[in-house]
Structure 1
Amino acid sequence: MSFVFAAPEMVSGAASDLANIGSTISAASATAAAPTTGMVASAADEVSASVAALLSAHAAEYQAISAQAEAFHSQFVQALAAGATSYAATDAANASPLQALEQQLLGALNAPTQLLLGRPLIGNGADGAPGTGAPGGAGGTLIGNGGAGAPGQPGGKGGSAGLFGIGGAGGAGGVLWGAGGIGGTGRLGGATGGLRDARRGGGLFGAGGAGGNSVLIGNTAAGGAGAAGGNAVPLGDGGNGGTGGLLGLAGTNGMSAQ
Structure 2
Amino acid sequence: MGPAGPVETGLVGGDGGGRWGRRDRRDCWAGLIGARRRSRRDRRAQARMATAGLAGPAGMPGMLAGPGGAGGAGGDGENLDTGGDGGAGGSAGLLFGSGGAGGAGGFGFLGGDGGAGGNAGLLLSSGGAGGFGGFGTAGGVGGAGGNAGWLGFGGAGGIGGIGGNANGGAGGNGGTGGQLWGSGGAGGEGGAALSVGDTGGAGGVGGSAGLIGTGGNGGNGGTGANAGSPGTGGAGGLLLGQNGLNGLP
TM-score, normalised by the number of residues in structure 2: 0.54
What displacement does 1:203 show?
1.8
Equivalent residue for 1:176, pick from 98, 123, 148 = 123
Q: Tell me, in whole angstroms, the C-alpha distance in 1 between the residues paired with 2:40 and 2:117.
A: 34
What SS is found at the alignment partner of 2:126? coil
Q: Tell me, in whole angstroms, the C-alpha distance in 1 between the residues paired with 2:128 and 2:103.
A: 10
Q: Which amino acid aligns with 2:142?
A: G
Aligned to 2:205: 252
What displacement does 1:251 show?
1.4
1:135 aligns with 2:88: no
What displacement does 1:91 show?
7.1
Q: Tell me, in whole angstroms, the C-alpha distance in 2 between the residues paired with 1:242 and 1:134.
A: 21
1:209 aligns with 2:155: yes
Contact 2:56 2:70 survives alignment (8 Å): yes
How many residues were matched structurally?
A: 155
Equivalent residue for 1:192, pick from 141, 144, 153 = 141
Q: Which amino acid aligns with 1:133?
A: G
Q: Percent identity?
A: 42
Q: Which amino acid aligns with 2:58?
A: P
Q: Which structure has the highest helix share of the two? A: 1
Q: Deviations over 1:142-181 (max 9, x none)?
A: 3211011000121010000012211111111113332111
What displacement does 1:97 show?
3.1
Aligned to 2:89: 149
1:125 aligns with 2:125: no
Q: Residues 148 and 95 of structure 1: is their aligned pair in 2 closer, same or farther, counting only changes over 3 Å?
A: farther
Aligned to 2:80: none
Q: Which amino acid aligns with 1:151?
A: S
Q: Deviations over 1:39-70 (max 9, x none)?
A: xxxxxxxxxxxxxxxxxxxxxxxxxxxxxxxx
Give 1 or 2 for the bigger CA radius of gyration: 1
* Higher mean C-alpha displacement, 185-194 vs 124-133: 185-194
TM-score, normalised by the number of residues in structure 1: 0.52
Q: Tell me, in whole angstroms, the C-alpha distance in 1 between the residues paired with 2:115 and 2:151.
A: 24
The unaligned stretches of length 5 or more in structure 2 are: 1-28, 60-66, 78-82, 193-199, 212-249
Q: Residues 199 and 92 of structure 1: is their aligned pair in 2 closer, same or farther, counting only changes over 3 Å?
A: farther
Q: Tell me, in whole angstroms, the C-alpha distance in 1 between the residues paired with 2:31 and 2:177.
A: 54
RMSD in angstroms over aligned alpha carbons?
A: 3.2
Q: Tell me, in whole angstroms, the C-alpha distance in 2 between the residues paired with 1:98 and 1:186.
A: 31
Q: Tell me, in whole angstroms, the C-alpha distance in 2 between the residues paired with 1:91 and 1:171.
A: 45
Aligned to 2:26: none
What displacement does 1:190 show?
3.7
Q: Tell me, in whole angstroms, the C-alpha distance in 1 between the residues paired with 2:114 and 2:33.
A: 35
What SS is found at the alignment partner of 2:116? coil
After superposition, residues 1-258 of structure 1 pair within 5 angstroms as 93-101=35-43, 122-131=50-59, 133-142=68-77, 143-152=83-92, 153-163=97-107, 164-188=111-135, 189-194=138-143, 198-217=144-163, 222-234=167-179, 235-246=181-192, 247-258=200-211
What displacement does 1:90 show?
7.9
Q: Which amino acid aligns with 2:210?
A: A
Contact 2:139 2:191 survives alignment (8 Å): no
